[in-house]
Structure 1
């Protein structure tokens, strides 16, 4: 199963196996990773699953769609060029080893 490393704002890390086809948001929630609120349950309507994707992985992700782009304008923490909503990133074997950093705050 592919692995994801969730890096907290303080630098601590947790690496989890996340089944292909599962969003990084759901992987974090089911794995008990703190810092992902996911108030809308993954429907791209709240921006409380905001993450910063490690630069090395950005080109491997699908482009940001319009709705995600709009939601990223409403994040509680600073929007950066590598900001994504973890509900919109579907895990795959091609993403095995991806690293995402959680922002200081989601709400």
Structure 2
């Protein structure tokens, strides 16, 4: 099963198994990773699953759509590699993806 690595702002690191097709937000909340809230349940309406995708992985993702882009604009401390983890679906090709978490989602 593919894995994702979540790295907290304080350096804590968690490697979790993610089913193909599952969102990375679901994987984080299922594994109780602090820093990914997923308040809206994954419909791109809250930005509480905001992550920074490691640069080595960013170009392997499909581009964010307009709705995701608009939510990233209101996320706390957005950067060029910001994405909503609810919009990233795990694939075999993403095995090992690294996601850094912001200091806070609020």
TM-score, structure 2 normalization: 0.98
Aligned residue-pair number: 106
The list of structure 1 runs, each at least 4 consecutive aligned residues, that deviate by more than 6 angstroms after superposition, is: none
What's the RMSD between the two structures over aligned residues? 0.5
- Measured after TM superposition, the shift of residue 32 of structure 1 is 1.2
- Report the equivalent of 2:20: 20
- Distance in 2 (alpha carbons) for counterparts of 1:100 and 1:3: 11
- Report the equivalent of 1:58: 58
TM-score, structure 1 normalization: 0.97
- Measured after TM superposition, the shift of residue 39 of structure 1 is 0.9
- Report the equivalent of 2:43: 43
SS in 1 for 2:74: coil
Unpaired stretches in structure 2, ≥5 consecutive residues:
none
SS in 1 for 2:25: helix
